[in-house]
Each structure stands twice: as C-alpha cells, then as structure tokens.
Structure 1
Amino acid sequence: MRSNTTIRGNRRRNLRFAAAALTVAAGLSLTACGNGDSGTDASAKGSSAKGSSSSSAEGSAKTEGSSKAEGGSKAEGGSGSGGSTAGNDAKAGSGKDTTAEAAANNAMQTSTKVTFCKTEDLAIDAVDAAPDETSGRINITMINRGSTTCSATGFAGVDIKDADHTSNPIERGPAQPRVTTLKPGDAAVFNLAYTIDNSGNSLTSPTNILVTPPNETHTVTLDWPAAAGDIKGAYTDVQVYPTHTTK
C-alpha cells in the first residue's frame, strides 16, 4: 500500500500538469484570437486598399473620361479651328485665284504694252537747226518705220567723232525726259546744243555723230551737218537733250 505522502505528491504533480496544460491551452487560444484579429485587420486593410483602388480607379476613370470629354471638346474646337483654317485657306485660295487673275491681266497688259523702239526700225537723220549765229543746234530726227507702236522716251546716247578719229561722248542737258510714243510713221526729235565759235579758231573738227536710241544698244553713224557752225570750246561743252514728238 502507498503511503499518504506518496499519494499527496502524485496529486500535486498532476495538478501542476493540469495547470500547465491549461496555460498552454490558454496561450493557444489567445494566439488563435490574435491571428483572427490580424486576419480581420488584414481583410479590413485589404478592403480599404481595394476600396481605395476602386475609388482611385473610378476617380481615374472619371478624370480620364472627363479629360477625354474635354479633349473631345477641344477636338471639336480644333475642328472648328480647322474649319476656320479651311475657310482661311479658301480665302487664301480665292486670293491666289485673284493673284493668278491679276498675273494674267498683267500678262495681257504686258503683251499689249508699248516696247522701246529698235534701232533697226528707225530712220535717223541729223540737220542743222541753229536759230541764230551764236546758238548752235543740231536736230536729230527718228522716224518709226516699224509696223507697231514703240516708245522713244528718254535720252539717246551720242558721241561725236572728230577728224583725228577720236570719239567723244556728249553729256546730258538739264531737262526731264518726256513721254515719246511713236506710231508707225511718227517722228521723234532730240537736239544737240552748243555755242558757235565764229573766230575760225575752233579746236574741234567733227565729222560724224554716233547715235544710240533710248534704251537701245545698236548705234547708227550720221554725218555731221555741213552747214552747222563750229563748236566753241571742247566737245564737253556740247549737250544732248531728251526726245520729244514733232506734233
């Protein structure tokens, strides 16, 4: 038979085991509860995150939709601008058409525009036209022998050739050119002016007059009029005046 002391010792040990088991069970229960809370929190957090994501997504969708809508409005505005641009282009096109028409009109005007007389179409002659014994003047006449109207407006180029075979350019006189339009058969005239030397000691001996009509490059050579008085001074004292009609 066991002693009372042994029995008491066994009971105490059993009680300790039971207490320990209860402690372990309580710990496990608390852990389970803790894990459950964490899960709940996680779920809650997940829900919040999900809700936030949904809200963000919805907000983004709304923003994007709004942006697209606004973009659409802008696009429509752009179309309006495009329409305006098209309108401007149309206007510009009209301007271009007008310009083309103006160019055509200019071309037509140019085709009927009077051109300068060509040397080959002019009959040119020089005569003495001195009004008195001190004022020397030589008239040079140009008759339009061509088939169309032409212009002889301006200054003719003139050189006087001397007996020593030198050629001397003549300076322009102080006068403004006059419009000189020649129909077929019409004549234009210009003159050389100088002072006559009656001393008999003139330093010049002119033999020819070289004439280049206004705006031409071809020259004709004329004889110096035999009846013309002697030139006083030098060829630099002779001046040429612009053309004008004889009518």
Structure 2
Amino acid sequence: MVKKRGDKRMKARINLIGLFFTLLLSIMIISPCPSSATEMSLFGKPLRFYGLIAQSAQYGWQDEYDTYQGIKQAPTTAILEGDYALANSLRVYTMISLTGDLAYVLNNDSDDWKRRQFDKSDDLAFDDEYWRILREFHVSWTSDQAMLRVGKQIVSWGEMTGFRLLDQINPVDGQRGPGDLEFETTILPIWMVRTDYSFPLRTETISDVNLQVIYNPNPDSDIYTRSASPGNDKGGVWAPYSEIGSPALLLGSRTLDLTKPDEWT
C-alpha cells in the first residue's frame, strides 16, 4: 500500500513537470527571439514574458554503501516570468518555476537505489510546494522619488554570488547541494510590503540618500528552516555524513547510521 501510494505521488509529480515543460516549451517555440524576452500587447498594454530551461546530470563511478553508481543526480530548473504594465507607473510581475532532480525518476525501480534508502528522500524529486512554484508575484507603483511594492518578492542589499553579508532579509533554500541549482534560484521570495523613498538631497559628498521600510508578516515561517538534511533517506546523494559520532559531531540520519556491510544480500 505504501509503495503504491508512493508510485502515485511520483506519477502525479511527473505529470506536473510534464505540463509545465509543455507550456514553457510552447512559449519558447512561438517566441520570435528565444534568447530574449517576448513582448506582446494585452488590452492595449505591453506584456513581456521570458522562459528558461536548464538541465544537468552527474554520473557516479563509485559503488559504495553510501553512494550510487550511475546517474545519481539530474537537477532540472524551469522558469517562466512575465511583466505587465497596467499603467506607466503601475506594473505586475510574476515568476513561476519548477525545480527538481530527475534522478529519482530514472532510478525509481533500481534495487541498489532503494537498498541505500535514496528512494526515501524522493521529496527532493520535485519541489511542488506552492511557495517554490510561485516564486514571485508583486505589484509595483513608482514615481520620480518613491516606490511601493506589495507581494511575494526579494529584497536584496548588495550583490555577491554565493556569499551573503548584508543581504539577510530573504531566506535561502539549502536542501540541495551547493552549486546544484543557480544561486539566484535558491533565494526564497517572501510576502512583504516594501516602500522606498529617495530624498532630493545632493551635495559634493552625498550623491544618494534613500529610506527603505519593509513589513514582513511572515506567513510562510517554515521556509526559514530549509537546510540540507543528513542521511541518504533525508538529504539524498549530497547528504552530509561523518563517521565521528556523538557528542563530537551529529551528522548522519538517526534512522540510517550507515556502516559498510561485508556483503550485499
């Protein structure tokens, strides 16, 4: 019964990613310039949309008790974003995405994969939670000196790929290994109200003075705890694991304290 339920869930996820890829590929095919955003008119207002598909794969040569020989990872990223101008100073922006690891689909019937309990971390197969699919959705009003943005968004203070010092407002999704997905897609947008105001103050030493106020109601509080989980049954092929036991270091799943067997049965 558990296996059938798991198979049905996997099939549902496969159907979801199939529909999303079909939609995304259709948009990219009809786009006159696939490498740039496509613009069209909707109710007399400009609508721009853009699609991206990224696929990679990793093959493992080691056949050990805590790894897998074969395609052990196949990260997929599909992004569709659109920008619609309701008025000169009012815009709506939406980004939806689907990320996952097709290795769980490819190895779904592998006995070695299941013996090492990688199948138990199949929640990493597709990121199908709403807050992962609906990446961003916000309405922005702008004027010469002010900006008001309401919705699911990213507030970034400074940019430095892979390292965050001042940029601490949005959480980061660390469930997958470092570098598995584009760093920008690991930053999680959250529901916020943001307002910026630029003061008309210019001197020889001051070129720009801005005030930013943010209200975060924190409706999705559980996304702040999304980090890599230990053990094959939790974190998949990139799960942290250490042979140093408690209390020195607590790594490795408590339900999967791996020790190398003398032989496989």
Which interval holds the TM-score relative to the shorter structure? under 0.3
Higher strand share: 2
TM-score after normalising by structure 1? 0.24
Higher helix share: 1
